[in-house]
Amino acid sequence: MKGLVCLLLLLETFVCVVQHQVDGGLNENEISQQLRSEDGRQNPPQTDTLRDEASTDSQQNYHLCFTDIHAALRELTATVTEQKVNIRELTATVTEQKVNIRELTATVTEQKVNIRELTATVTEQKVNIRELTATVTEQKTINRELTATVTEQKTIIRELTATVTEQKTNIRALETQQTLILEELNKKNDEISNITLGQVELRKEFRDREIAFSASLMQSSSGDYIGPFTTDITLTYRNVFTNIGNAYNPITGVFIAPLKGAYMFRVSVYGHGGTAASVSIVKNGERVVAAHEHQAKDGLNSSNGVVLILEVGDVVYVSLWSGRRICENQNNHNTFSGFLLFPLR
């Protein structure tokens, strides 16, 4: 019974020592004091006999077990020391891991920022790609239109080339024809020279027979009226301005053709309102053209002209119509003129 009690005390002391060793370690004196304290708690005061017996047994058992306990304590101390080393290493590892975690957290945060920036860049690139796609599509449309235009221009160029080739052929043909014509003209030069000599002689003859005249009714006037008459009368243009060839007679008012040819005649007439002013150019007694004007008041003006083919001796003059009236003044409104355009054989 006493041995069992001692064993229990030793076990309890061992547990406390181990616990204390873990918490900070105990020396042998502390362990002895702890064992005595525990023995005191477990064995209350007895009689001197029991206490002496128990003390004797305890000391014997203590000396028997102390050596084993001390060895166990050394092993536990070594184990605890090793565990402390392991704990320190684990603590250092945990600290290192915390540092790594902080670094990884910072890296992850930085990566998130980079990802957001890359996402924004990708979005911007997508917008740029869409714009570039639209631009490329537009350029393709323009290229197709330009290709069509170029094709059309090539067709036009081919047509123009064909036209130019045709024109060159025509030019060569015309050059050949021109050469033939020049040869023909050269052959006729002699004939033309002979004809030219004849024309020179004819011109000399015509120069000798140049014919032209111009005249008005009166040399001076204060506004006298001529007419009206009951029949047509021949007007005598006595105020002669020009009479080359003397074919016009200012006394009779008649022009007599001195040679065959084409002649130009012109007449102008002036009067006052109320009575019509009408005259005619007459060839060999027949009216050819007329100058006529009529209104209620104010001045009347009219003129006319004609080209006539006359034979030698044909006569031309101006007649005032019956019942018509003209007025002559110092401005010479009423005139009659004519000249030879060219003679005829």
Q: Does residue 328 contact residue 217 with C-beta atoms inside 8 Å?
A: yes
pLDDT number for residue 6:
65
pLDDT number for residue 25:
47
Q: Does residue 67 contact residue 15 with C-beta atoms inside 8 Å?
A: no
DSSP state of 321: P
Query: Using CA of residue 14, residue 18, residue 24, residue 27, what is the dihedral sign?
Result: positive
Query: Using CA of residue 123, residue 125, residue 128, residue 134, what is the dihedral sign?
Result: negative
Q: Which residues of the chain fall below pLDDT 70?
A: 1-6, 12, 14-66, 181, 188-208, 219-223, 330
Against a cut of 0.75, is the pTM above it? Answer: no
What is the chain's alpha carbon radius of gyration, rounded to the nearest angstrom? 78
pLDDT number for residue 57:
61
pLDDT number for residue 26:
45
pLDDT number for residue 204:
55
pLDDT number for residue 300:
85
* Angle at CA of residue 199, ends 196 and 201, nearest 5°: 115
